[in-house]
Amino acid sequence: MTWNFEEVYVGPNRPLGGLAWDGQRMLVTDINDGTLIALDPKTKSTEIVRRHLNRVNGIAFGDDGALYGCQEGSRRVIRMLSDGSASVTATKLHDENHNHPHLLTIDKKGSIWFSDIHHPLKASGPQIFPYLDHQSILKLTRESRPRGHWHIDRMTVDTISPTGLALSLDEKTLYVSDNNMEHDGVRELRAYPILEDGGLGLYRVLHTFGRDHQGVQRGISGMCIDKSGNLFACAGSNVSGPGPMIYIFSPNGDILGAHPFPVDMPTNCAFGDADLKTLYISTSCGSLYRVKDNGYEGHILHTKSL
C-alpha cells in the first residue's frame, strides 16, 4: 500500500526535531529557532507556545505531566511546566559534564533515557567543559519523587554515535540507532535487553544500513513505537541507497514496510490525534508531514508479519 504523506506545516528551511502529542495538539521543536510549535490537527493552524529554548530537540511528556526536552544548545535536559517555567535536571556524569542531549524517551517509572552526542554546533557560552570521550545512552533518574535530586547513569558502553531510541511496550527492551556516518562506521538498529537491575544486556542487531559507490547510507535518526510494539523509523537520504524512507520493523527486526518519503532527511516521528493512529514526521527542511490511518491501520499498525 502506498502511503499518502500530507504536508501539514511548512516552516523556514531549518530543521524540525522532536515531537510529542499533548492530548490535543502535536508539539514539534524548531531547533535552531529555539521555539516549540503546536499544530492543531483539525485546522492545521499552528502557534508558538514556547520561545528561547536554545536548540531543544527531543521532547517527551513524563508521568508528572511535565514536558522534558533535550536542550542541545545548553548541554542539558530540562523540565518544562505548563506555567512557562523550566528547571534543569542533572548535567554531570561522574563529575564531568555530559555532551549534547539529542533525543529521549521516558519510562513508566519517570526515568529519562537519552542519546548524548558530540554535536557539530557548539553549546552557548564559553567552551570550558570538554566533551566526554564517549557518545552513549544515558539515563536520568530521580532519587525520590516528585522533588528529589536527579542523577545520571551511563547505560551503553559500545555505542559510537547513538541517535534515535525507543522503549518496547513492556519496557524490557531498549531500541537504539547507532548512526556513525564515517566511511567505515556502522549504522545499526539495536535491541538491548533491560536487565532486572536496570542495566542493559548484550544487544542484538535488528537491521544494518550499508554503503555503495555514492557513499554511506544514512541510518535511523528518530523512531517511535505503535500500539502493537512495531518500530516506525526515519532513515535514508537522497545521497545514497534507496533514498529517504519511513521503515516499519517488528520487535524482532522483520521489515514490515518501507515507504519512500517525499522530501530528503526525515528526522523524527511520533503518533498523535485522538486515537494516536496518525503518524507525524518532522524533517530537516522545516516541514511537518502526517499519514492518517486511512487504510494502514490494519495493513501496518496491527500486522505482526508480512
Q: Check pLDDT > 80 for residue 295.
A: no
Q: What is the pLDDT of residues 169-179, one digit of tens each?
A: 999 999 999 99
Which residue shows C-alpha cell 516541514?
287
Residue 190: strand, helix, or coil = strand
Between 147 and 68, name the one with better pLDDT.
Answer: 68
Tell me what pLDDT residue 304 has: 32
Q: What is the pLDDT of residues 207-238, one digit of tens each?
A: 999 998 999 999 999 999 999 999 999 999 99
- Alpha-carbon Rg for the chain, nearest whole angstrom, is 18
Architecture of domain 12-301: 6 Propeller (2.120)
Q: Check pLDDT > 70 for residue 299.
A: no
Percent helix / strand / coil, the chain, rounded to 5: 0, 45, 50
pTM of the model: 0.94
Q: Check pLDDT > 60 for residue 127.
A: yes
Length of the chain: 306
Boundaries of every domain in the chain: 12-301
Q: What is the pLDDT of residues 9-61, one digit of tens each?
A: 999 999 999 999 999 999 999 999 999 999 999 999 999 999 999 999 999 99
Q: pLDDT tier at 102 (50, 70, 90 boundaries)?
A: very high
- Give the distance, in angstroms, between the CA of residue 103 and the centroid of all CA atoms in the same chain: 4
Tell me what pLDDT residue 145 has: 67
Mean pLDDT of 281-291: 98
Burial bucket for residue 91 (CB in 10 Å: 0-12, 13-18, 19+) = middle
Counting DSSP H helices and E strands in the chain, the numbers are 1, 28
Rounding to the nearest 10 degrees, give the CA dihedral for residues 29, 160, 237, 169.
-60
- Of 53, 49, 69, nearest to 61 by C-alpha is 69
